[in-house]
Amino acid sequence: MSTLPPPHRAPSRCTLPALLMTMALWCPTATALAQDAGRAAPRPRVVVLDSVSVIDIDAKRVTAMRRIVIRGDSIVAVESVSAMPPDSVDEYVNARGAFAIPGLVDHHVHLVQGMTAALERGARGGVTMVQAMAGDNRVAGEYARASRAREIVAPEIAYASVMAGPDFFVDPRFIGASDGFPVGKAPWAQAVTAESDIPTAVAAARGSGAEVLKLYAMIDSALAARLTAEAHRQGMRVVAHGTVFPARPLQLAAAGVDVLTHAPYLSWQGAAEVRPEDSWKRRDGPYATVRADGPELTAVLAAMKAHGTYLEPTLWVFSRPDVPPVVAKWGAQLTVRAQAMGVPILAGTDGFVERDTTALPVIHRELQRLVEAGLTPAAALAAATTNPAREMRREHTHGAVAPGRVADIVLLDANPLGDIRNTTRIRAVVLRGRVLVR
Mean pLDDT of the chain: 93
The 10s digit of each residue's pLDDT in 256-275 is 999 999 999 999 999 999 99
Asked if residues 307 and 240 have their Cβ atoms less than 8 Å apart, the reply is no
Q: Are residues 159 and 253 in the same domain?
A: yes
Q: Are residues 282 and 219 in the same domain?
A: yes
Q: Are residues 218 and 329 in the same domain?
A: yes
Q: Which residues of 124-139 are buried (b: 16+ CB within 10 A; e: fewer)?
A: bbbbbbbbbbbbbbbb
Q: Are residues 313 and 292 in the same domain?
A: yes
The 10s digit of each residue's pLDDT in 337-379 is 999 999 999 999 999 999 999 999 999 999 999 999 999 999 9
Q: Are residues 170 and 46 in the same domain?
A: no
pTM comes to 0.90
Query: Residue 22: what pLDDT?
Result: 41
Q: Are residues 65 and 172 in the same domain?
A: no
Q: 217 lies in a domain?
A: yes
10 Å CB burial of residue 44 (0-12, 13-18, 19+) is middle
For residue 438, what pLDDT band results from cuts at 50, 70 and 90? confident
Q: Are residues 144 and 215 in the same domain?
A: yes
Q: 17 lies in a domain?
A: no
Q: 51 lies in a domain?
A: yes
Query: Residue 388: what pLDDT?
Result: 99
Q: Are residues 256 and 392 in the same domain?
A: yes
Q: 31 lies in a domain?
A: no
Q: How far is CA 405 from the centre of its chain?
A: 17
* Residue 423 belongs to domain with CATH number: 2.30.40.10
Pairing relation of β-strands 259-261 and 310-312?
parallel
Q: Are residues 318 and 361 in the same domain?
A: yes
CA distances 128 to 231, 325, 360, 430, Å, are 26, 31, 13, 8
Q: 35 lies in a domain?
A: no
- Once rounded to an integer, what is the mean pLDDT over residues 27-35? 50
What's the total number of domains in the chain? 2
Asked if residues 350 and 333 have their Cβ atoms less than 8 Å apart, the reply is no
**One-letter amino acid for residue 350 of the chain:** D
Q: 6 lies in a domain?
A: no
| Distance from C-alpha of 110 to C-alpha of 130, rounded to nearest angstrom | 9
Q: Are residues 248 and 111 in the same domain?
A: yes
2: three-class secondary structure by DSSP:
coil
Query: Residue 2: what pLDDT?
Result: 37
Pairing relation of β-strands 426-431 and 434-436?
antiparallel
Sequence-separated (6 or more) residues with CB below 8 Å from residue 110: 132, 133, 134, 135, 350, 352
Q: 336 lies in a domain?
A: yes
422: three-class secondary structure by DSSP:
helix
* Dihedral sign (CA 394, 219, 347, 299): negative
Q: 29 lies in a domain?
A: no
Q: Are residues 218 and 352 in the same domain?
A: yes
For residue 118, what pLDDT band results from cuts at 50, 70 and 90? very high
Q: Are residues 386 and 404 in the same domain?
A: no
Q: Which domain, by its residues, includes 184?
A: 104-398
Lowest-pLDDT range of 18-22, 141-145, 355-359: 18-22
* Residue 218 belongs to domain with CATH number: 3.20.20.140
Pairing relation of β-strands 434-436 and 310-312?
unpaired
Is 18 a residue whose pLDDT tops 80? no
Lowest-pLDDT range of 151-155, 167-171, 220-224, 297-301: 167-171
Is 430 a residue whose pLDDT tops 80? yes
Percentage with pLDDT > 90 across the chain? 90
